[in-house]
Amino acid sequence: MSADQPLHRGPPLKFIHVGHHKCGSTFLQYEVLPKIHALRQPSGKQPDGTSDLRFRRAWISLASQGDGGFDIEAVAREFSRKDFNCLSNEAFSGYGSIAAATGSHAPLAAQRLHRIFGDVPVLIVIRNQRSIVQSLYMDDVEYGYVADFEAWARHRHFHNMLDWFRYAPLIEAYQTAFGQQRVHVITAEDLYRRETIEAVLQRFDIPSDGLDAVDFGRRVNDSPCGPVVWLTRQLFRRIGTPANMGRGMVYNFWIDHARWTLDRLLRQAGAARAEYNFLGYEDILRETFHADNLRVTALTGLDLTVHNYP
């Protein structure tokens, strides 16, 4: 096989969506893509309904494994077993644990995706870091971390762990791998609008049949209100969680059931979605993201000031 020929033996893909994390990926994967008649995502299941562990392992390896031991031809074979014409996985923007993700594997993922699937369009969704950082904090609280927002944010900033949401390196990695004209960037702030999805489908030459069925008011993995986040931190000081490798029945009951019942009742009583700030927070945001956001504008033409990016 020629080095320039894609390794994937299936039909050419319509596009690859590579995230970013916390930018509406679940909305695309569960609400939009399944309803567009012309699109098919790969199934992580065997024909008998059980989990396809070989495929899932290949999927994870593509985004997370270093060069040592990575077998791109074996990964390509796993994808070639599936019937699909689009891919969506936020791990392609970088992969790691909730506590320590950095995005350092994103350039590798871009190169590997191009080697496997060739010259196909790429969609990247970005989000105002002012809100994405808070969303990531609430994910960490769900995982079991109990620090308040200021301690958490200062720790991540000191260890360069907020750099994951500097978008220009991600965009440049995919432009380098696939070509600048094939990489399309939109904002999460515009994602939940019909005209945005229509424009993406048109750009990628995909018929919009099925778009009328999409619920653009649906929010997937929405964050709980402030009191529920506080109660979660207090509870997790006392029980086993994934963060201390002690996940058990109490954790599962709270995360899967009780907190959402309480959240619904508190919202009905007027409680608002959690919002956090502290003296110096805006300085951290500007120091970390402002110059990068200017690069994103230069790379994409997007006016991020419309959505008040740092």
3-state secondary structure the chain: CCCCCCCCCCCCCCEEECCCCCCCHHHHHHHHHHHCCCCCCCCCECCCCCECHHHHHHHHHHHHCCCCCCCHHHHHHHHHCCCCCEEECHHHHCCCCCCCCCCCCHHHHHHHHHHHHCCCCEEEEECCHHHHHHHHHHHHHHHCCCCCHHHHHHHHHHCCCCHHHCHHHHHHHHHHHHCHHHEEEEEHHHHCCHHHHHHHHHHCCCCCCCHHHCCCCCCCCCCCEHHHHHHHHHHHCCCCCHHHCCCCHHHHHHHHHHHHHHHHHHHHCCCCECCCCCCCHHHHHHHHHHHHHHHHHHHHCCCHHHHCCC
Rounded-to-integer distance, Cα 166 and Cα 222, Å:
23
Query: In terms of pLDDT, which residue wins out, 205 or 69?
Result: 205
Mean pLDDT along residues 212-222: 87
Rounded to two decimals, what is the model's pTM?
A: 0.93
Does residue 152 contact residue 276 with C-beta atoms inside 8 Å? no
pLDDT of residue 2: 52
Q: Tens digits of per-residue pLDDT, 92-114?
A: 998 654 445 567 788 899 999 99
User: Cβ contacts of residue 195 below 8 Å, gap of 6+?
Assistant: none
Identify the bridge partners of residue 15 per DSSP, sorted by sequence position: 86
CATH code 3.40.50.300 region(s) in the chain: 15-219+281-305
- The topology under which CATH files domain 15-219+281-305 is Rossmann fold (3.40.50)
Residue type, 109: A
Does residue 94 contact residue 80 with C-beta atoms inside 8 Å? no
Mean pLDDT along residues 255-263: 92
Q: Tens digits of per-residue pLDDT, 264-300?
A: 999 999 988 888 999 999 999 999 999 999 999 999 9
pLDDT of residue 23: 93
pLDDT of residue 32: 97
pLDDT of residue 97: 47
Residue type, 107: P
| Average predicted confidence (pLDDT) for the chain | 91
Q: Tens digits of per-residue pLDDT, 131-142?
A: 999 998 998 999
288-297 b/e (C-beta count within 10 Å ≥ 16 → b): bbeebbeebe
Mean pLDDT along residues 70-93: 93
**Residue 251 parent element (H or E):** helix 249-253
pLDDT of residue 27: 95
